[in-house]
Chain A
Amino acid sequence: MDFDPVVLARIQFAANISFHILFPTITIGLAWILFFFRLRYTRTADEAWEYAYNFWVKIFALTFALGVVSGITMSFQFGTNWPGFMERVGNIAGPLLGYEVLTAFFLEASFLGIMLFGKQRVSNRVHLLASFLVAFGTSLSAFWILALNSWMQTPAGFVLEDGQFFAQSWSQIIFNPSFPYRLLHMLLASVLTSAFLIAGVSAWRTRRGVDGPATAKVMRVGVILAAVCIPLQVLVGDLHGLNTLEHQPQKIAAMEAIWETGEGAPFTIIGLPDEETRTTRLALEVPYAASLILTHELRGEVRGLDSFETHPPVLPLFLFFRVMLVTAGLMLLVSWCGAFNYWRGREPGPRLLAALSFMTFSGWVATLSGWYVTEIGRQPWIVQGLVGTAEVAADHPSATIAGTLFGYIGLYIFLLYSYVHALRYLSTKPARSLAMLPQRRSRDAQGLS
């Protein structure tokens, strides 16, 4: 077989980073939710909050472990797959990654031990502090990695000498043009993902009749949190889009499959963009809408793909962007129906429970498709407009990369299956095991159970 090693290296990195992002997306939001549960218990002494914490902290620990191991893989793949990247951009990327390890990784990993297993060994105040530091660490980690990612999209604060990047202003490098939008967008995505996860699992448990003493309360937190955050996310997403239009217009043109520059451009709701013929087949269009959305004028001029020397592949951007929008729409619908229901003073009925459990992993779908849009949208560059992806790839033989790629994909499918299976298992079982808590404590060593 004769595959391009660059394509294989990209698929491998994409497989790994896609698998990885599933878990931090949950833990960043869930860490704050757990801290909230602990705070509520401390304030109100209502046992239900403690049950909620005890149940979800187990899922948090499992999710965190998967995030850690897949994250370590990533830190090595920067070097094994893209050695040229660090050689040319190392002066910029290195310190940002370094500060992530120094300020975030050690913090969350160290205090996680106390958060998970130290409740009987430290005071409530110290335990609260440990839970806070874990949550803070996960968010800080997102801060640094998104600073680097955003810099690769909208580079700033550097000078180029002989193909090498040198730092000129660290504040411009970190707070580069797309960074604030991307960071907010990702943090809100994490909160939404974990909100739908806790609401979905709670709904699933209620339908199955395996709910615990705090399930209804947790579902309420999830639904209300989602209902509050989704309109904010739509707003931030729109601002992020306008920022992209300013700095990476070719990405927007590809997302909307706008082939030619023109005034009063239509918005294509759905269709099949074809790069060979440079047309969109089976297009369903709304006249003037693209101009209206992007320039806020009916006859505003929108740059098409024809005005760029290079542009990212159109089909994946166009489709993934729509997957994200549809998922966001469903999230809005379900969470607002749920919130309206609570506002009327009712508990969710069977149809709402079904909808919530259907949406359990909706955050994953939206987050992944959003990331595919923004990352594929940077191609063929690894640093927008400055360093080509193919220039920095390692020259491993295709067979080597293909072999390890199959290994990784097999491992990830197995782990993902095991993760969802464990979620189901924990969701069914603890309702009973929680009730037996006091007896179990007296029994002999139980390991992590």
Chain B
Amino acid sequence: MSAANAPERTDALVQVRGLSTELNGKTIFDRLDLDVPRGKITAIMGPSGTGKTTLLRHITGQLMPDAGEIRVDGHNVPTLARGELFDLREKIGYLFQNSALLTDFTVFENVAFPLRQHLKLPEEILRNIVLTKLQAVGLRGAAELMPSELSGGMARRVALARAIVRDPMLILYDEPFVGLDPIALNQILKLIRTLNDTLGITSILVAHEFAAVGRAADHVYLIAGGKVAAQGTPAELARGESDWTRQFFGGEADGPVPFQYPARDYAADLGFPPSGRTERAR
């Protein structure tokens, strides 16, 4: 590890400073700052297309920012060499939005994959670890199924088991509650909380379901317009003291976040005399 990448230990496991990103000519982040404290569950919320998944990709080094610093456990991710980045990723679990299970492998082999690739464990120990994780997500009985035989919710739970199989220091959950029935959702919420409380794992949770986030998260960032629009505990945000939180958590069309994608005059588009109104992004 080079001197420039020497880790600096702080209370925040993830520190984002001055992050600026532009994708396809659209500004996603405009000097964004945020901290993810160690051992806590931090939720990232915001309107669709606001860059929540992009932020996770920045944190894991899948995407390079135009400017800014992203420190994970003290390492400045954009400056890490590929080998250093892989070393860091070994300590990170990532739950993909679409599960991203390896379709050639059974459920068991999917969960065992990170262990087989990085650790030379005796088969019996490996089997016990995998079955323990599958039991935690309620799918021990599905160990021999192929991913094509799973429902969307089951695939997500298998992906979660794979993300936690190496007991990482940081887990990134990208939309973990989509497609889960109430029973599975409740169990996954409990699991996220338990992992956090018992193993001291730091979690970043990207989700839209405020009720679920409110039960799991210690701190919530609301991102809109490329910046942190609001932050606080779930209870603080639920009070809706700013226009952002009022609109987002109230589900209102009118507010600082435009519901309509930027477009030319609606009446003119329908062939009527122009009303003078255009939809614009704020």
Q: Decide whether A and B are members of one complex.
A: no
On B, residues with C-beta under 8 Å from A are none
